[in-house]
A and B are shown apart, each in its own frame.
Chain A
Amino acid sequence: MPDYLLELSKNPAARNAVKKLNLPLPLPENLKRITGPWPEQPLADLVVDVGHLPKSALAPFLAKALCSAGATVYASGSDSQFAHYQDSATAWGRIAKIVEADAKPTGYKAHALVFDVTGAQGPEDLKAMYAFYNARLRSLASSGRVLICARPFGNAKDLGAAVASRAVEGFMRSVGKEIGKKGATATLLYVDEGAEERLIPVARFFLSHASAYVSGQPVHISGAVAAPKGYSNTRSLDGKTALVTGAAQGIGRQIAIRLALEGARVICMDRPAEEKATAELARQIKGSALHLDITDKDAAKVMADHVAKHGKKLDALIHNAGVTRDKMLVNMDEQRWDMAMTINLMAVMETTDSLLPLMPTDARIVCLSSIAGIAGNPGQTNYAASKAGIIGMVKALAPSFAKKGICINAVAPGFIETRMTAAIPLTTREAGRRLCSLGQGGLPEDVAQVVTFLSTPQASGITGEAIRICGQNFIGA
């Protein structure tokens, strides 16, 4: 069943009427998304307002990220910081404008408000960040972005810096909740020293409309995994082979489609019972179909053989297949427990292990976790345990995989509009949709965007992370 409030909000007359009559209807913003292949300049002609602390280090990198993505930059900061924007902007043919740090924007809506808080020595330094957003947040466009860059608090050399770094996270999460009704999102990128170059493509992704349903999310950017020799912002996956489990329907299907849109040759795997849908998808995206139940005892070997035959190497492995077998714990039979744990967790561990020899030094692994695995859900002890286990696996494997050049991450979808969520009773479903900053459910393609980005060479800075795609769900965010 469609989201009637979202449908209503798409009609300007109805939107106006609701506003005028002061009806207690929380009309969600129709989120801007990228439907076609990623464009070379996802921020073309959009205004990005950017600010720095005097000692912030990221101006050269943010300048490259913003200007090469086509943004018109309004920058505040020191002369030497502004010079980076002036340079990059000239290179990309959009002259950067200098603005006062605490000046209220006039005459424009900003697509994104970016603040670089690296170099903060203590909480007193955050006042500049407060002033920047205080003056500007009103000018943020719908489906806009708040992006804050900081140093990770674990690496801070003294107490003041550590406190400041962690304080930014609370700030960012609250901003996300304030701007959600505009369809706008907030992200915090923790950038390790030495990993600044990796920030460029990550900032591009989180500033673009591709990250529509991610909000309130801190992401750690490290230099743990070797950086790619080069990469392309478009058709990033040309020449690469990806395998998606559970590809026939819903989120898995959209992941396969998005991976193919960005150039990957996709092996679409699903149970033999889904043969028709899997084969149809494989035809549509010019990939191959693998009709296989992941719980078959030789499934791992069959997968490896299929990869060897169709792609020779496996550049991206997407563990998407999963089941729910919900029951309150006191009523849950053993079979439900076993089934969720086997398919959602044990099969993932096993196939990761057996496919690893086929994965080259810049391979990527993405595992579907769930917001239930972070927050817990009544009736989902089995499911939540398996999905939390996924996060454990990703964090445990990341350091050793990093040495091989492989990134492994989890994504945790919240309420996504699928066949699965359509089956939830109406009142529960409505609650699921509304209880997030964006006030609406996400779409399978929103998950696919993040999974696909994490599968690209340019996501080399992200590993061992669990990224929520939940519109900043109020529970578990």
Chain B
Amino acid sequence: MAAKKSTATGRRAVIVGGVRTPFIRAFGSFTRLNTIDLGTKAVKGLIEKFPLPLKEIESVVWGGTMLPGGVAVNIGREIVFDAGLPMEVESFTVVRACTTSILSATIAASMIERGDADVIIAGGSDSTSNVEVRMPPTLVHKAAPVVMSAKSTPSDYLKLLGKLRKEDIVPGRPSIRERTTGELMGEAAEKMAARNEISRQAQDAFALQSHLRAAQAISSGRFAQEVIAVETPDGETVYTDNIVRGDTTLEKLAKLKPAFAQGGTLTAGNSSSLTDGGAALLLMSEEKAKALGFTPLAAFKSWSYDAVDPWDQLLIGPAISMPKALAKAGMTGDDVDLVDIHEAFAAQVLCILKALNSDAFAKERLGLDKAVMKRDPEQINIHGGSVALGHPFAATGARMILTMANELAASGKQTALLGVCAGGALSAALLLEAV
């Protein structure tokens, strides 16, 4: 293990603790909980598990990508109200696709480290079951003058009805296609798999590893320290993640049909699923944590946010962000004990590893002499990842931070490097260190 390094110059933001809701397949038990509700469950769970004087909380930095339209945009502020936090807790909401709650956490860490705040709740939630169905803008444009005017008479409304055409009232279908390229995530990952020659077998083997490790983390009680029980509006209490298949096998995975392309290699089994969930982290300045009697789990060492060409390899970004975060910390892969890469698709993780393991990639894409961090698929994601656990977009980053922070604290290991790819060809990496 690497010698202990510390960034303890000036103020340091630390992770005091965190919780997440179980991650539940979309249109299951959490269907009637929207993104605000899931965030509220997570934040309430957090302050129950890590009790502190609520007036100490200065801010809630929240993330969500599936916002309940027409209800609220700044859902963080609504979570403050619904979770019963003091009205004086300010809040804002950030969006950066699948890296959203890496961003909310590092913004909170920045606020703490520059002295703006001492105690912040950061995290994210998403309810893909409540993805908004949009009415066509033409309907809004036609209806607005009548609906918005106080002088409109019933006959104006009748006239309006006469003006509407079929295409004005057929709702748009929700889509996770890239706006620029028109590609589905899975299509982009399928293309990457073909280009990098990632086989179906390799993807299935990685997916199996993800499921078995996640199942082990659940059955061993490892996840019990971070997953809270959630009571649904239907009176059901949900205790644990429901996408993980501890009993799956390579044979079962091999039988699944390609999901995105004829003759393709991506299946429902080696891709992450639409998921509902939320995750919340309690961040403090190191001094404040000590003063309030908390033992921090981990601190923020460095991070990197990057973007690549969406027409090229949409989800390759972490292969650039992870070495950049290491460089900022003056570290190499030898200094990293734990590597956690978001699994949008097993294929995308394996493409990223292929790039990270390539000296030529380091030379031609990063201007380095050689690859700084080489890893085999077995060496990463020790407790599984999004393929097994599911992927509530804005909660995944906080879920990863939570699991890695707990792991650093429990194992005595020194550093953990997280990498997350995102829609829009974005990426993020975050380096955590033990405290």
Name A residues whose Cβ lies closer than 8 Å to a Cβ of B: 40-41, 44, 64, 67-68, 70, 72, 87-88, 90-95
Contacts and interface: CB of A to CB of B under 8 A. Distances in A.
Interface in B24-57: none
Interface in B180-229: 192, 195-197
Contact of B195 (A64, A91, A95): A95
Contacts of B197: 95
Contacts of B242: none
A202 B204 CA distance: 43
B364 A70 contact: no
Given A41-B309, A44-B311, A93 B316 contact: yes
B364 A91 contact: yes
A44 B195 CA distance: 12
Interface in B312-370: 312-313, 316, 351, 354-355, 358-361, 363-365
Nearest to B364: A91
Contact of A92 (B311, B359, B364): B364
Given A44-B312, A68-B364, A93-B316, 17 more contacts: A40-B312, A41-B312, A44-B311, A64-B364, A70-B312, A72-B195, A87-B360, A90-B358, A91-B355, A91-B358, A91-B361, A93-B192, A93-B196, A93-B312, A93-B355, A95-B196, A95-B197
Residue from A44, A67, A93, A95 whose CB has the most chain B CB atoms within 10 Å: A93
A402 to B, nearest CB: 28
Interface residues of B, number: 19
Residue from A68, A91, A94 whose CB has the most chain B CB atoms within 10 Å: A91
A94 B195 CA distance: 5
7 contacts: A44-B311, A44-B312, A67-B364, A87-B359, A90-B361, A92-B364, A95-B196
Contacts of B354: 90
Contacts of A91: 355, 358, 360-361, 363-365
Contacts of A88: 360, 364
A94 B361 CA distance: 12
A336 B222 CA distance: 93
A106 B265 CA distance: 23
Interface of B: 192, 195-197, 309, 311-313, 316, 351, 354-355, 358-361, 363-365
A40 B307 CA distance: 14
Contact of B360 (A41, A72, A90, A94): A90
Contacts of A70: 312
Given A70-B312, A87-B359, A93 B195 contact: yes
A93 B360 contact: no
A68 B367 CA distance: 13
A93 B313 contact: yes
A241 to B, nearest CB: 29
Contacts of A68: 364
A94 B355 CA distance: 11
Contacts of B192: 93
Nearest to B359: A87
Nearest to A40: B309
B366 to A, nearest CB: 9
Nearest to A63: B360
Nearest to B196: A93
Nearest to A41: B312
Nearest to A87: B360
A250 B77 CA distance: 60
Contacts of A94: 195-196
Contacts of B311: 41, 44
Contacts of A93: 192, 195-196, 312-313, 316, 351, 355
Contacts of A90: 196, 354-355, 358, 360-361
A64 B364 CA distance: 8
Q: 6 closest A-B pairs (Cβ-Cβ)?
A: A87-B360, A91-B360, A91-B361, A91-B364, A90-B358, A95-B197
A92 B316 CA distance: 10
A47 B192 CA distance: 16
Contacts of A64: 364
Contacts of B363: 91
A140 B3 CA distance: 57
Nearest to A92: B364
Nearest to B319: A93
Contact of A87 (B312, B313, B358): B358
A95 B196 CA distance: 6
A87 B359 CA distance: 8
A90 B359 CA distance: 9
B303 to A, nearest CB: 24
Nearest to A83: B360
A44 B192 CA distance: 13
A442 to B, nearest CB: 29
Contacts of B196: 90, 93-95
A93 B314 CA distance: 11
Nearest to B197: A95
A45 to B, nearest CB: 9
B264 to A, nearest CB: 17
Residue from A41, A67, A70, A92 whose CB has the most chain B CB atoms within 10 Å: A92
Contacts of A40: 309, 312
A260 to B, nearest CB: 23
B67 to A, nearest CB: 33
A69 to B, nearest CB: 11
Nearest to B192: A93
A72 B354 CA distance: 17
B352 to A, nearest CB: 10
Contacts of A72: 195
Contacts of A95: 195-197
Contacts of A44: 311-312
Contacts of A92: 364-365
A94 B354 CA distance: 11
B364 to A, nearest CB: 4
A447 B294 CA distance: 70
A412 B139 CA distance: 58
Contacts of B360: 87-88, 90-91
Contacts of B316: 93
A87 B313 CA distance: 17
Contacts of B364: 64, 67-68, 88, 91-92
A64 B360 CA distance: 10
B280 to A, nearest CB: 36
Contacts of A87: 358-360
Nearest to A97: B197
A91 B357 CA distance: 10
B121 to A, nearest CB: 39
Residue from A40, A44, A90, A94 whose CB has the most chain B CB atoms within 10 Å: A90
A293 B265 CA distance: 65
A41 B313 CA distance: 12
